[in-house]
Structure 1
Amino acid sequence: MGSKILNLENNKKLLYILVSILVLATIVLYSMKTGSIEISFNELIKGLMSNDNSGNIGIIK
């Protein structure tokens, strides 16, 4: 019985951590998108994932 309660508490903590990471990632992406230049979400993701330095993508790096 005691180990089930401990496991439930660990699952809750893990869920809180995962949700917090997801919220943090969303806030970071949103803040990068709403900067001083207008950039699309696709350009933002492409800029984060590629080595391209042209146009708005170069600003992200």
Structure 2
Amino acid sequence: DLNIEFTRWNLDAPVTDQTFVFTPPADSHRIPMVTSAEAQATKKSDHSTSKRKAIQKVTTL
């Protein structure tokens, strides 16, 4: 169990759009995100490529 008691809680605190602005650190970098559809397409493409390479390897032996 965890009990927390908040005292002097300010329900009228000023909240502006600036409160929610994210400013990344200077040494950070953006990580590219892909949609589920893009991930599935890549997965299918990778599988097809791997399968094709395996077939080529077997046929050249």
Shorter-chain TM band: 0.3 to 0.5
Which structure: greater helix fraction?
A: 1
| Structure with greater Cα Rg | 2
